């Protein structure tokens, strides 16, 4: 069984490159797709420093 991973979305870069974002009624920002080039894997060590919870 694989361990889950956490990814950071480089949304500022996406917006700068022309990606359109939409805000839902409940305030969540959405877009149609996030290409892999805008994803950055967060290490477990960084997640711990930033209070992210990793499931094991």
Secondary structure (3-state) at 40: strand
Tens of pLDDT, residues 21-56? 999 999 999 999 999 999 998 877 776 676 666 554
Give residue 9's pLDDT: 93
> Higher confidence at residue 3 or residue 40?
40
Q: Return the pLDDT at 52.
A: 63
In this prediction, residue 55 carries a pLDDT of 52
Give the global pTM.
0.70
For Cα atoms 23, 35, 8, give the angle at the middle one, nearest 5 degrees: 70
> In a 3-state reduction of DSSP, which class is residue 45?
helix
The token pair at 38 is 């805008």
Contact of 9 with 38, CB cutoff 8 Å: yes
Helix or strand (DSSP H, E) at 16: helix 11-16
pLDDT attached to residue 51: 63
């Amino acid at each position: 069984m694989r361990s889950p991973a956490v990814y950071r979305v480089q949304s500022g870069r996406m917006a700068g490159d022309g990606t359109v974002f939409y805000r839902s009624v409940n305030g969540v920002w959405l877009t149609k797709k996030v290409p892999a080039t805008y994803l950055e894997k967060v290490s477990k060590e960084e997640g711990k420093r930033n209070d992210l919870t990793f499931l094991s």
